[in-house]
Amino acid sequence: MKCKYEKMTTGLKYLILCWCCMSFITAHSQKVLNIVDFGGAPDSRKDVMKAVRAALDACKGKTGITLRFPKGRYDFYPIEPKKSEKNVGLILHGLKDIEIDGCGSDFVFHGWMEVARIVDSENIVMKNFTTDWDRPFISQAVIAGVSDSYLDLKIDAAQYPYKITNGELRFYGEDWESGIGDRYNNLYDKGSKEIVYNTWDSPLKDFLANRAEDLGNGMVRLHGTPPIKPEIGTYLSLYHFYYAMNGITILNSKDIKLEDITLYHTLSCGVWGEHSENITMKRTSTTVNERKGRVFSTVADASHFNNCKGTILVEECAHTGQGDDFINVHGRNVKIGKKTDKHTLELENNSHLFDIGDEIWLVNHQTGQRDICLRITGKEMLTWPQFKITLDKEIPDNIGSNDYVENKTWSAAFVMRNCKVLKRNRARGVLVTTPKKVIIENNYFKTAGTALLIEGDLDHWYESGACTDVLVRNNTFDNCLTSGNKTGNRWEWGDAVITITPSQRPADEKDIPFHRNIRIRNNRFRVFDAPIVRARSVDGLKFVDNRIEETTDYKPYTWQKSSFLLDGCRNVIIRNNKWDKNYTKRIIEIEHMHPSDIHGKTDKGFDTRFVSGFNTYLN
């Protein structure tokens, strides 16, 4: 080797030396900024907003910068004493290759605040911090006494300041005052802090608005007959505002990573992503602040992603206490207001979700089926929120007003693994509708409602994305559905452990299914009641190689009395599953199907029968 090196030309040696020097410079070119150098003082309780703005301004036009917050407490105060676009802790606008490292710090917010907003940015990493409010926008009480004529609440006035005005129980915080809202207000078990079995939203109904009397020492008596009598010691979350300001918002951005972040509280969704590409959440959890004795965390969903593309990757997250679901991933069905000519449509809203060059599907409002795919060649704003799009090909005659448009380009794949989805939040677990690949694996589900909900609708939320490739494998579903559908009401929290209920409703045995290729394999189901799967309008539903164990941890109650309730499904396989001998509800109920739509020999002991005697379309 020495002889060969000695024969190298001087020019070649020079090139090698230059390459080594450039590699060294590149490896050491990452610039680190310290928030302290911009006036941010940890543990001072002083407003850090000015320092943060100055530090982020210093990042503009540059790449490869890390902004560090030496470990400590940093306080963020609003610019305006109300809900405002100005009240954002960290604004990353038009930045590239930037890392925000909290170094284990606590970011404490005051009043009407959004934690962070990432807009028109690329390759952003945020990591190693917690977020909380000294005075959150949710209050909490403990049931201290109950009778036919009153309900007593024990309230920690230091954490949740309150007063009684003209007989009304009111709470106040930093720049806000409110009574108790008429939604949510959930009950949590005194021991496990899980949603109380067989309770849903507002189990005390409007009783919390009854005449209040201050008994002193943090005790408040509400007069009247409560609709139910919760056990003494039960926790009660009290909501004041809904969907006010998201925690971390990601808009029109690409390659965003959130790592090792704990969101103890935010004023709406913990993380909201929209019209962005490739978002990763790793060990980023919306969770209860146990040190403060809470049962709640964020006001709405732990995370919610709308009209994104690339991949939404969620790993090692464990959410608790949120006011809505674990995660939502979907697109948006946008209604056609008018077809002005063969190439032009006027759409009713959500103009920001469409760009020139995007491919779209036209969706028939009666069948829910996608029609042809067209490309947007022009876009014009009309009177807000209406706008007009021009398309590259002629619009079919059968598409017109009241039909819908779905953005094909902005559809995301979804991967979720090694997460914990627990029974400590209202509503459901995972909600996903996307035409791209979905993998849900190696997770632990123990939910109050359905663990996995796959919908797609044109009648309420308008969440698009008929699924084409879903794999649910190697998960544990542990006593899910303790607050599922008891009566068939859609506002209860799901029919089965896995619920697939698009708004498209089959009319007969020939209808084309809405979803396709959904495989549920190698999972463990610990169940106390009958429903395993409810599926509507799926072509290629497979439930294979799973293990089902009967438990006696809760009393059976559900509206669905069969293992599988199938409506308008085709090419169904239920095979090679291991069933606990104590699980005896081995029934497959079908509707708008032929028995032959279930292929081959099903598991031993199962009876396939047509739905009879009840209306499956209550929800």
| Integer Cα distance of 109 and 89 in angstroms | 8
What is the rounded CA–CA span in Å between residue 360 and residue 175? Answer: 44
Closest CA to 272 of 297, 254, 250, 252: 250
pLDDT for the residue numbered 250: 98
Pairing between β-strand 219-223 and β-strand 150-154 as defined by DSSP bridges: antiparallel
Residue for token pair 């939203």: 201
Segments in the chain below pLDDT 50: 1-8, 12-28
Distance CA 297, CA 320 (A): 7
Residue 23: predicted pLDDT: 41
For residue 291, the one-letter residue type is R
Q: What is the pLDDT of residue 2?
A: 42
Q: Which two tokens stand for residue 239?
A: 């909501």
Q: Which CATH number fits domain 332-407: 2.40.128, 3.30.310, 2.40.30, 3.90.220?
A: 2.40.30
* Token pair for 388: 């007009």
Integer-rounded Cα radius of gyration of the chain: 27
> What span, in angstroms and rounded, lies between the C-alpha atoms of 83 and 330?
27
Residue 208 phi, psi dihedral angles, 5° rounding: -65, -10
In the block, which residue shows the tokens 């009641």? 529
Q: How far apart are CA 394 and CA 374, in angstroms?
A: 9
- Give the whole-angstrom CA distance, residue 363 versus residue 335: 9
Query: How many helices and strands in the chain, by DSSP H and E?
Result: 3, 50
The tokens for 171 are 């709470």
pLDDT on residue 19? 47
Residue type, 271: V
Q: What is the predicted pLDDT for the residue at 149?
A: 98
Beta-strand ranges (E) seen in 402-497 are 404-407, 412-417, 420-421, 430-432, 438-441, 444-445, 452-454, 463-464, 470-473, 476-478
CATH class, range 26-133+243-324? mainly beta
Cα–Cα nearest to 389, from 402, 379, 381: 379
Question: For residue range 126-167, what is the model confidence (pLDDT) as tens digits?
Answer: 999 999 999 999 999 999 999 999 999 999 999 999 999 999
State the pLDDT at residue 108.
98
Q: What are the backbone angles phi and psi of residue 577, rounded to the nearest 5°? A: -95, 150
**What tokens appear for 329 in the block?**
């991933």
